[in-house]
Amino acid sequence: MAEYTDLDGAVNDVPELSDSEDEEQWMEEDDPDHSDESVPCLFCNRSISSVSETFRHCQADHGFNVADLVRKHRLDDYGYIKMINYIRTTKCSMETLVSCSGDALPWSSDEYMKPVLPDDPLLQIDVEELTGDASACDDVSVWMQRAQRAEENLSRAMDDLHKLKVFVQGLVLNSDGTQKSAGSVAELREDEDEAYFSSYGHYSIHEEMLKDKVRTESYRDFMYGNTEVFKDKVVLDVGCGTGILSMFAARSGAKQVIGVDQSEIIYHAMDIVRANNLESVITLIKGRIEEVDLPVEKVDVIISEWMGYFLLFESMLDSVIFARDRYLADGGSVYPDRCSISLAAVGDTEKHDGRVAFWDDVYGFKMPCMKKAVIPEAVVEVLQPETVISEPTVIQMLDCNSVSLSGLEFTSDFILKITVNTQCTALVGYFDVFFDRGCANKVMFSTAPHCTKTHWKQTVFLLENPITVQSGEELPGQITVRKNKKDPRALIVTLTIRDWRQTYSVQ
């Protein structure tokens, strides 16, 4: 990403645009066979005078017929481009290419859309002219695939236009010295938001969530066990990811399901939906729910897996609330419909010594500044249930069908009833999720320490100094939860216990 320096001397990133603009450049290039530049062979170090001569050389000297491979796998322009870049990237053998079969081609990843060689003449040809296969143009499925890809490219181009608009707004606001409005600040954080969505574009995070049986099977059991909620209904899946909830809804009898997600994973979701023959029911849209146009005015049900660490980290519930207020029909419902956040006291002197007291004596040296840096960062981990030393207490209950944005920031007094004579070294936060409203078969799951672990784990707030407590004692406190103004997806949590007060960051 390139950089610019504004009038205040700050260095900023210029947003990169997607590869859709490269397609126009390829289309505008002259015929590569008339180029003065030589064409590097795909398999050896030889450079050849033209594209056609390069293909003849590949067949004569390496036994590789490009056109035959394109026909064999019915490659369109994008598949052909990926194949050429794959060969140049991996320097694979001709035998490897010829042995490829089935749908899982080694060059199917979008990473091979990026040219290996600048202005590679082999990428500037028309695949239909290469193969001379006019019958392929009559294949309806081929045309449908091309239309789908054209739609995806248009979506990328619209994203690029939005990035450019935000960038220009930044230049104007920084140059005239005017104070930024709340809306402008949100738009100028576009890069931060893109980083968030990019993290959900990678398959590994979705693999982790899908393998979380507590999470995924709870949604499945709710939908399959309450088909009356979904039968013949229009369903909106906010942040659909791989589309698993959308497919559960479709299998539960929904007549139409609309999945929306900003991350790149939605392109895989489109393939997944087609692979399961659900494309007639499920429509997937790339973009933020706040910005896209849905193909319907209202929906009957909104489903979403929006929960983050300590329930509210990531602020995705904000988007669900927007979708609810904008699209949910009268009498409709959001699921999950209720969530609660709980606290409990923790007594684990060994872990406290390892993380906090450790800095009092590091090989004979005091490092108090490190202790001050460690404590304010909440720790996300799987807590051993035996270290919980109090009864839990609910500090906040959210009704997803009525909660407002202001309700996501709160202050709550609490009392922890101690169950063990020990030292309190931390507090632990976790959440419970409920599928209740209108459900004949109610479903819930918990992320508490004594329950089956989930990918959310628990959120631990370390105390600087342990507090001695007795069984039966009631330990009073107060908690305040706010969004981090510098990073709205993160949380600022302030805990007060007796006369001790500490502010933590959940990020």
Angle (CA) 179-184-189 rounded to 5° is 115
Indicate the SS3 state at residue 175: helix
Continuous segment of H or E residues that includes residue 478? strand 474-484
Which among 314, 377, 391, 473 is annotated as catalytic? 314
Residues 161 and 92: their CA atoms lie apart, in Å, by 37
Report the half-sphere exposure of 59 (CA within 13 A, side-chain side).
Answer: 10
Continuous segment of H or E residues that includes residue 85? helix 77-90
Residues 330 and 308: their CA atoms lie apart, in Å, by 28
Strand pairing of 443-446 and 458-469?
A: unpaired
Q: Please list the residues that pair with 341 across neighbouring strands.
A: 396, 431
Told to judge if 305 belongs to the known catalytic residues of this protein, a careful annotator would answer yes
**Token pair of 117 as six digits:** 């060689």
**Token pair of 494 as six digits:** 């302030």
In sequence order, the 6+-apart residues with CB closer than 8 A to the CB of 412 are 395, 396, 478, 479, 480
**Token pair of 322 as six digits:** 């927007």
Residue 421 · residue 462 · CB < 8 Å: no
Told to judge if 314 belongs to the known catalytic residues of this protein, a careful annotator would answer yes
Which among 29, 151, 217, 305 is annotated as catalytic? 305
Residues 203 and 265: their CA atoms lie apart, in Å, by 7
Residues marked as catalytic? 305, 314
